[in-house]
């Protein structure tokens, strides 16, 4: 039995043009789902959409700023018009800039971080959850961060936003249940594009039981589990995929 069979389903993945979002989008496609790839840069979305279509399913590339409600609504409307329904939503888009201190954190930076990591996912969950209830069911997956429970001073707005995302995961699970499931994944440090800028010694001292960073493909199974119908009794949950992180 293929427990992760997503044939005939359609998924929307924000921030799907690179990193963990791209891995999740390709994993869904490999298991039969049509996929909407959305991020701010259309050309990058189109490249991933081509990879999805090469796997024998349909894809749609849409440029969208995931922190702006009007763009999210237009993106979601276009997705529904193209595929008829949306069965899976992955709120993956995010940003985690560092600041020297709380006092030196600019207001515009704070607002951008909150908009992309919390305000946008809130609105998109409201849109998708309402649509999924009308269509008889679906799965929403929020990509949080282990920083939500192991915050550091340098990225407090980001980790605060992710903690808030964890909280509303439970709220939306209650609002849209029982037909729509809402869960979150809390990744630790992964060897994605952003990791290329990290100092080499960072991995050597990582506070994780696995004693290494995750490979991007290692996010796939958690996302497939939550997207598939075989996780039908899992909702309102936050799943750690962090290598056993035990401190900040």
Q: Tokens for 131, please give them.
A: 């649509």
CA 85/CA 168 separation, integer angstroms: 24
- Domains delineated in the chain: 10-241 (3.40.50.720)
pTM for the full predicted model: 0.97
- State the DSSP code for 245: B
Q: Tokens for 130, please give them.
A: 């309402």
Closest CA to 206 of 191, 218, 216: 191
Asked if residue 216 lies in contact with residue 19, where contact means CB atoms within 8 angstroms, the answer is yes
Contacts of 110 (CB under 8 A, 6+ apart): 157
Strands 88-91 and 138-143: parallel
Of 3, 158, 225, 246, which is the active-site residue?
Answer: 158
The reported pLDDT for the residue numbered 44 is 97
CA 101/CA 118 separation, integer angstroms: 21
The reported pLDDT for the residue numbered 10 is 98
Catalytic: 225? no
Low-confidence ranges of the chain (pLDDT < 50): none
């Amino acid at each position: 039995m293929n427990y992760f069979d997503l044939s005939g389903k359609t998924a929307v993945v924000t921030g799907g043009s690179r990193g963990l979002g791209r891995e999740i989008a390709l994993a869904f496609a490999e298991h039969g789902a049509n996929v909407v790839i959305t991020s701010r840069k259309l050309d990058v979305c189109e490249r991933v959409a081509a990879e999805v279509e090469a796997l024998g399913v349909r894809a749609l590339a849409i440029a969208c700023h995931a922190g702006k409600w009007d763009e999210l609504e237009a993106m979601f409307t276009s997705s529904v018009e193209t595929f008829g329904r949306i069965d899976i939503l992955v709120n993956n888009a995010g940003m985690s800039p560092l600041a020297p201190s709380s006092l030196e954190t600019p207001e515009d930076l704070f607002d951008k971080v909150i908009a992309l990591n919390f305000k946008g996912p809130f609105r998109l969950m409201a849109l998708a959850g309402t649509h999924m209830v009308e269509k008889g069911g679906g799965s929403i997956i929020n990509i949080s961060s282990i920083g939500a429970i192991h915050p550091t001073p340098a990225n407090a707005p980001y980790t605060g936003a992710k903690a808030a995302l964890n909280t509303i995961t439970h709220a939306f699970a209650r609002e849209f249940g029982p037909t729509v499931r809402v869960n979150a994944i809390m990744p630790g440090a992964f060897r994605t594009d952003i990791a290329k800028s990290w100092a080499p010694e960072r991995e050597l001292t990582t506070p994780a039981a696995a004693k290494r960073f995750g490979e991007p493909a290692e996010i796939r199974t958690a996302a497939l589990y939550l997207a598939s119908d075989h996780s039908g009794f899992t909702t309102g949950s936050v799943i750690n995929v962090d290598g056993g992180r035990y401190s900040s």
